[in-house]
Amino acid sequence: MTATLRVLLLLATAAAGCNDGKSAATKTETPPAPVSVAMTERRTVPLTVTAVGNVQPVESVAVKSRIDGQIVAVHVRDGQEVRKGQLLFELDRRYLQAQLKQLEAEEARDRALLTNARSLERRYTELQSKGFVSEEALTQARTGLAAAQATVEADRAAVQTARVQLSYTRIEAPIAGRAGRVALQLGSTVTANASQPLVTINRMAPINVSFAVPERLLAQVRNPAGGAPLDVSVTLEGSDPAPVSGQLSFIDNAVDAQTGTIRLHATFDNADWRLWPGQFVTTTLKLAEQADVVVVPAQAIQNGPEGQYVYVVKPDQTAELRPVKVERTEAGRAVIAEGVQPGETVITVGQLRVTPGAKVSVRQG
């Protein structure tokens, strides 16, 4: 073998050795997948049920006129907050005032006739006892007295009715609350108990939220642990995410046979008027407290062909796929019935880059 051939063989062997070294280095230099983690823990978790609720006023009154008439004064504005008994509208009262005066005059006349009939009855009674008048004349006098008394009673009732009718010309707020749109203005003619109210008043605080839950929860709703009213919270779409807290105040007396649900009401102070009649809200009813359960962040739960699982980070910084049984999810935490123990580390972000047994790099913060 010539010297030149030996040199070429040595160079080829060295090159092959370098290539094998590079391949081995490439295999061992695969970086670990970056992930975020959280610790599993044991804690007390509330048992809740969520439903869509509708905000309803505790009191709502459609204000209508009790008599026919013309509006001569309006003392309320659209959206005004009113007090109970506050004057809202005035109707023309001239005709009713004149009618009342006429009836009062008739009552005064009939009272004078009653006084005369009473005096006549006394005189006839005295004369009959002395034999100066007949029994028949005394009976007629007594009948006249009874008729006069009945006439005065009828007059008194007519006067009282007229006064009540006159009072209807002043339309006052039956409850305190917020007025809606004022439908009729000065000069409008109203009719008694018309289909369109003059204005609707809603009491804004406190306020109710109506919602329904499945009938299977009725026993827990009716017999809460500790006997105290159940807590209810609501969240509003597109506003302050902080929930509004209240208490369960009403359970309907029948289950809806079509939906299999029971209707409930919760009452809220609503001092800041965050809840508005007619709104739809997300309602959360707290049924009980479940103590000493294992929880993990809900984002740690993954779904696979064989069910739900989490990745557990082992002490050697490798990932282990662990099947789990999730009992329920509550406020961003999954309650785990089987699969992990308190104090284990689970991956919450970055699972798509992880494979069972692979190394991971835990990101800080």
pLDDT tens per residue, range 31-52:
899 999 999 999 999 888 999 9
Q: Round to whole Å and give the CA distance between 184 and 71.
A: 8
Answer CATH for 60-92+169-202 from 3.40.50.720, 2.10.109.10, 2.40.50.100, 1.20.1250.20: 2.40.50.100
Residues of the chain with CATH 2.40.420.20: 33-45+292-362
Helix, strand, coil abundance in the chain, percent, nearest 5: 30, 40, 30
10 Å Cβ neighbour count for 169?
23
Pick the CATH number of 99-167 from 1.10.150.670, 1.10.10.10, 3.40.50.2300, 1.10.287.470: 1.10.287.470
How confident is the model at residue 26, as a pLDDT? 46
Residues of the chain with CATH 1.10.287.470: 99-167
In angstroms, the Cα distances linking 136 to 113, 126, 148, 150 are 21, 14, 18, 21
pLDDT surpassing 80 at residue 144:
yes
Rounded to whole angstroms, the Cα distance separating 56 from 319 reads 52
**150 phi and psi, to 5 degrees?**
-65, -40
Where does the pLDDT of residue 135 fall: very low under 50, low under 70, confident under 90, or very high at 90 and above?
Answer: confident
Residue 6 banded pLDDT, cuts 50, 70, 90: low
The Cα–Cα gap between 127 and 124 comes to: 5
The Cα–Cα gap between 240 and 81 comes to 24
Task: Decide: 246 and 267 in contact? Cβ < 8 Å.
Answer: yes
CA 211, 216, 222, 228 torsion-angle sign: negative
Three-class SS string for 202-234? ECCCCEEEEEEEEHHHHHHHHCCHHHCCCEEEE
Q: How high is the mean pLDDT of the chain?
A: 89
Cα(first)–Cα(last) distance of the chain, in Å? 66
Q: Which pLDDT score is estimated for 291?
A: 87
pLDDT > 50? residue 24: no
Note the pLDDT of residue 163.
97
Q: CB atoms < 10 A from the CB of 297, how many?
A: 18
The single-letter code of the amino acid at 177 is G
CB 190 within 8 A of CB 71: yes
Does residue 185 carry a pLDDT above 80? Answer: yes
Please provide residue 73's backbone torsions phi and psi, each rounded to the nearest 5 degrees: -160, 140
Q: CA 309 to CA 321: how far, in whole Å?
A: 7
In words, the CATH class of domain 33-45+292-362 is mainly beta
**Cβ proximity of 101 and 95 under 8 Å:** no
The pLDDT tens digits for 94-106 are 999 999 999 999 9
Q: What's the mean pLDDT in 274-292?
A: 92
pLDDT tens for residues 222-280?
988 777 889 999 999 876 678 999 999 999 999 999 999 999 999 999 999 999 999 99
Q: Give the Cα-Cα-Cα angle 54, 59, 60 (nearest 5 degrees).
A: 85
Whether the CB-CB separation of 137 and 124 falls below 8 Å is answered with yes
Helices (H) and strands (E) in the chain, counts: 4, 22
Q: How far apart are CA 316 and CA 311, in angstroms?
A: 14
Count CB-CB contacts under 10 A for residue 30. Answer: 9
Q: Which CATH class is domain 49-59+204-289?
A: mainly beta
pLDDT of 140 over the 50 cut? yes
**102-106, 175-179, 289-293: segment of lowest average pLDDT:** 289-293
Q: pLDDT, tens digit, for every residue of 110-131?
A: 999 999 999 998 998 888 888 8
The widest CA-to-CA distance across the chain, in whole angstroms, is 183
The CATH 2.40.30.170 portion of the chain extends over 49-59+204-289
Q: Which of 118, 93, 102 is nearest to 158 (CA)?
A: 102
Would you place residue 365 in the very low, low, confident or very high pLDDT band (cuts 50, 70, 90)? low
| DSSP code for 236 | -
In angstroms, what CA-CA distances link 356 with 17, 29, 33, 160, 309?
Answer: 33, 18, 12, 92, 12
